[in-house]
Structure 1
Amino acid sequence: MKIKFTILFLLLTCSFAFAAKVDTLSIQSAAMGKSIKTVVISPDKAGKGLPVLYLLHGYSGDYANWVNKVPAVKTLVDQYGFIVVCPDGGYGSWYWDIEGNKNYQYETFVSKELVGYIDGKYDTAKDRSKRGISGLSMGGHGAMYLAIRHQDTFSAVGSTAGGVDIRPFPNNWEMASRLGSYAENPEKWNQHTVMELTHLIKPKSLEIFIDCGTEDFFFGVNERLHEKLKYMNVPHRYLSMPGGHSWEYWSKSIHYQMAFFNEVFNKPNEPIKK
């Protein structure tokens, strides 16, 4: 009887884990003149006016990374009841708009074109208070970069193992091919790194959650960002756990990230003071 019960429990658990609906879309970007693959994960029992989390992949990754490498994301979507959108961010785009390069206009695509498309196709809340963005590694940088620069679009931002300061890595990950060398273009690098954008965060505008593994090569820059935000009295949450720059760590951290966004999305809106 115990064995039968265990088998039944596993079957029920597995069926629940994969109940979420997964769509793979090709979304046309006017800014880049090409279609961008995007995975959209919707809760099985979808309500109306759902919150949306935009979840970005890392360097050399793609739109299918999260759903394929961390199947638990589907379970979390069903558990919390909001939509997760995973766009393709290109190879080493860092989610920037690169002036003069039509192939790299990913800031415009994610923060404007993609948001507009998702709000038009799905029954979303269509309100910044119910819209967040997060990501890992390059995508953690991208999430913070886009959220800070588009606070009218996103109300919450997360970053897991994010490259939140690119300047200590001037020869890595295609960045010099996008921005020019750091030695010759330091101001341009400053304009494209999260660490130098913190002054743009408006009071009570963004809910922020940063996490990073203590053995991660990005741990130092995340620690420094945490200290800078504390110094600037910018409210945020910061979590460090054992782990390196790997899917083993990210498959754990996503549980904390999703719980954070669920809390933010369910906060009552503060009445506007007249």
Structure 2
Amino acid sequence: MALLQCAFYSHVLEFQTEFTAIVPQPAADQEGRDDNAGAPVLFLLHGLSDNHTIWLRRTSIERYAEELGLAVVMPQVHRSFYTDMAYGGRYWTFLSEELPQVASAMLRIATDPARRYVAGLSMGGYGAMKWALRQPDKFAAAASLSGALNVAGPRLQEVFPADHRLIFGERSVAGSEDDLMALLARRAEEGVQLPRLYQCCGTEDYLYADNQLFRTRASELGIALTYEEGPGAHEWSYWDASIQDVLRWLPLPDREA
């Protein structure tokens, strides 16, 4: 695998930002490989207190991805909740529009949605589900690990009041395009074909109740969702194990019938 740290100017954010990527290194013998397809790619999103380097520092994601021939792109979005902030950068636009274009131009990664995936933990789990629900035609699968999936509820505002105001301002999140529960209902009403969805959470996690709410809402709406839970808190020992479960679950091309 090759490890790349990319610093570039974001026209959306109007400043220099970064992403970290790990990509399969070309073998000496390329015979029989499709050089134009690019590696299947996982966009892997960080949590509120972390950055684009954290998955490499706290897990063995490079080793796990290498076994699968999977590229992984990990962007920097600060404490934005992957949202066009009321008082801050347009991080949703950066994530959903600019980042894929920049990464695809610089890396040999798949552009076919059937070979693209998104996942994240905590705030990143929210970002992954929001991306999949708002742009369901962009991915084959999306996964949330201990996701902050109920931003319209009181928890975020109570625990992180300053962040909540910077991100959402004075507007109500409920029913908006940033409310995952509302997005689930809209996609179900529209009959939209969604990517495969995966959700996991530790039973000792402070976000466990919100994860149960998301799971219940998806079930009520008839939205297919692979759900797993088990002992674990909001911590890296749980996420290092869970990302391996996610990678085993991903519908990678060589696993498809």
TM-score (norm 1): 0.82
- Give the one of 1, 7, 11 matched to 1:30: 11
Matching of residue 79 in structure 1 with residue 67 in structure 2: yes
Deviation at 1:135, TM superposition (A): 0.4
Structure 2 residue runs of 5 or longer lacking an equivalent are 28-32
Matching of residue 112 in structure 1 with residue 97 in structure 2: yes
Q: Say if 1:133 and 1:158, in contact at 8 Å, map to a contact too.
A: yes
- Give the one of 136, 146, 151 matched to 1:151: 136
Structure 1 residue runs of 5 or longer lacking an equivalent are 1-19, 270-274
**Letter of the aligned partner of 1:86 in structure 2?**
M
Q: Say if 2:136 and 2:193, in contact at 8 Å, map to a contact too.
A: no
Computed over aligned residues only, the root mean square deviation of the Cα atoms, in angstroms, reads 1.9
The separation in 1 between residues aligned to 2:255 and 2:83, in whole angstroms, is 31
Query: What do the CA deviations read for 1:96-127 (whole angstroms, capped 9, x no partner)?
Result: 0125x4x4211111111110111111222211
* 1:5 corresponds to: none
- Give the one of 149, 157, 164 matched to 1:164: 149
Q: How does 1:2-21 map to 2 (within 5 A)?
A: 20-21=1-2
Q: Say if 1:148 and 1:200, in contact at 8 Å, map to a contact too.
A: no
**Letter of the aligned partner of 2:159 in structure 1?**
N
Q: Say if 2:147 and 2:201, in contact at 8 Å, map to a contact too.
A: yes
* 1:58 corresponds to: 47
The separation in 2 between residues aligned to 1:112 and 1:79, in whole angstroms, is 29
The separation in 1 between residues aligned to 2:26 and 2:227, in whole angstroms, is 32
Q: How does 1:56-205 map to 2 (within 5 A)?
A: 56-70=45-59, 72-90=60-78, 92-99=79-86, 101=87, 103-166=88-151, 167-169=153-155, 170-173=157-160, 174-181=163-170, 185-186=171-172, 188-191=173-176, 192-201=178-187, 202-205=191-194
SS at 1:111's partner residue?
A: helix
SS at 1:97's partner residue?
A: coil
| Percent of aligned positions that are identical | 27
* 2:228 corresponds to: 239
TM-score (norm 2): 0.87
Query: What do the CA deviations read for 1:229-267 (whole angstroms, capped 9, x no partner)?
Result: 111111110000110001111111110111222x34445
Query: What do the CA deviations read for 1:206-235 (whole angstroms, capped 9, x no partner)?
Result: 110000000001111111111111111111
The separation in 1 between residues aligned to 2:209 and 2:116, in whole angstroms, is 29
* 2:208 corresponds to: 219
Q: How many residues are treated as equivalent by the alignment? A: 241
Query: What do the CA deviations read for 1:139-164 (whole angstroms, capped 9, x no partner)?
Result: 10011111211123223111000000
